[in-house]
């Protein structure tokens, strides 16, 4: 299949980023083949369960995965190879945040700070509480102004959807999370991940929050027994493949490449999880359903960012 043609904005342009359709209106997503993603996630959970039973608990997955990818360049190169497309040749190369994740994992910290069970329901107050946890900013709130990406080498920046639309979308994301029950709701979890990145309802931590909710939704659905699908290091080590897939959804309405990329990430993590887990000990709890309030857990100042 030929790669799509991308219309190139004029140098210095500020490009409005359209809001994705609601889940019920995302016909292209509903038409996607989810079989490869579900199989890869089931295999990831099988490996995680075996390791959990054999070692008395899984280590902090995101932190150890970041360390593993730093220490083993060949493993990082393999990940880049299985997620590459002609478009990734134009994306920045390098570890892109792996060092930070290896030392201070927002995903692992947020998982550890959750109650002894997963969320039963989620509203915007609870979503903001989770955003505060992953950002470390106890004052983080739904944004009220515009937010845009940093300008690229040509001076082009993307403008995310208006604050009002982003706040309404946050409520839809909470409803989708609450409705994620059973493997047949996997498309809803995929929509939630992309929709949060697309709307950028907070001035900071949107990517970290989206990845945490996706991992939690997979556990709510019974696809994984604990939040083991730590996407952060995989995204940062795959040379922009994730960002390209998100842009394909927003610009072209093409969901299948995004679903297939998530499957590739899950398959890669399943294959490498024994080596990742061997980097240190420690336990990752198995979760059951419960509820959560929006209380912050850490109190460091967060800076606004537009990461994916």
Q: Are 223 and 208 in contact (CB under 8 A)?
A: no
pTM (2 d.p.): 0.85
Q: Rounded to 5 degrees, what angle do the CA atoms 39, 71, 42 make?
A: 10
* Of 99, 119, 122, 120, residue with least CA distance to 232: 99
pLDDT tens by residue, 191-249: 999 999 999 999 999 999 999 999 989 988 899 988 899 999 999 888 889 988 998 99
Q: Report the phi/psi class of residue 196: left, alpha or beta, with left for phi > 0 and alpha for psi in -120 to 50.
A: alpha
Report the distance separating Cα 183 and Cα 219, nearest Å.
10
The domain segmentation of the chain, as residue ranges, is 26-290
Domain boundaries 26-290, corresponding CATH code: 1.10.3290.10
**What is the structure's pLDDT at 124?**
93
Q: What are the structure tokens assigned to 162, written together?
A: 């208006």
Percent of the chain with pLDDT over 90: 48
Residue with tokens 């109650």: 115
Q: Cβ neighbours of residue 265 under 8 Å, at least 6 residues apart?
A: 83, 229, 231, 234, 235, 238
Report the distance separating Cα 146 and Cα 167, nearest Å.
12
Q: Is the dihedral of CA 303, 167, 124, 141 positive or negative?
A: positive
* Of 213, 210, 149, residue with least CA distance to 179: 213
Q: What are the structure tokens assigned to 217, written together?
A: 């939704």
**What is the structure's pLDDT at 295?**
33
**pLDDT by 10s per residue, the chain, length 308:** 334 445 678 888 998 999 999 999 999 999 999 999 999 999 999 999 998 887 667 778 888 999 999 889 999 999 989 998 766 655 555 545 677 777 767 777 777 665 544 566 789 999 999 899 888 899 999 999 999 888 877 888 889 999 999 999 999 999 999 898 888 999 999 999 999 999 999 999 999 999 999 998 998 889 998 889 999 999 988 888 998 899 899 989 999 999 999 999 999 999 999 999 887 644 433 433 333 333 333 222 223 333 44
Count H helices and E strands in the chain, helices first. Answer: 13, 4
């Amino acid at each position: 299949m030929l790669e799509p043609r991308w219309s190139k904005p004029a140098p210095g342009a500020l490009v409005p980023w359209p809001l994705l359709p609601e889940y019920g209106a995302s016909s292209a997503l509903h038409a996607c083949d989810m079989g490869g993603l579900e199989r890869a996630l089931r295999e990831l959970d099988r490996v995680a369960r075996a390791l959990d039973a054999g070692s008395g608990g899984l280590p902090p997955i995101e932190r150890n995965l970041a360390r593993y990818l730093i220490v083993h360049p060949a493993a990082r190169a393999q990940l880049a190879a299985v997620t590459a497309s002609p478009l990734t040749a134009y994306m920045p190369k390098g570890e892109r945040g792996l060092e930070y994740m290896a030392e201070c994992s927002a995903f692992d910290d947020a998982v550890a700070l959750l109650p002894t069970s997963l969320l039963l329901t989620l509203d915007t107050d609870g979503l903001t509480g989770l955003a505060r946890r992953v950002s470390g900013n106890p004052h983080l709130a739904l944004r009220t102004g515009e937010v845009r990406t940093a300008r690229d080498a040509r001076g082009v920046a993307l403008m995310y959807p208006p604050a009002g639309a982003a706040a309404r979308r946050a409520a839809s994301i909470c409803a989708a999370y609450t409705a994620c029950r059973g493997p047949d709701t996997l498309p809803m979890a995929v929509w939630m991940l992309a929709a949060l990145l697309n709307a950028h309802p907070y001035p900071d931590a949107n990517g970290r929050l989206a990845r945490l909710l996706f991992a939690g939704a997979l556990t709510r659905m019974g696809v994984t027994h604990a939040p083991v699908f730590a996407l952060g290091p995989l995204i940062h080590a795959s040379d922009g493949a994730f960002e390209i897939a998100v842009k394909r959804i927003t610009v072209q309405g093409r969901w299948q490449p995004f679903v297939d990329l998530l499957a590739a990430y899950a398959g890669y993590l399943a294959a490498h999880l024994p080596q990742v887990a061997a980097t240190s000990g420690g336990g990752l709890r198995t979760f059951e359903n419960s509820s959560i309030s929006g209380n912050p857990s850490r109190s460091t100042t967060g800076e606004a960012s537009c990461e994916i």
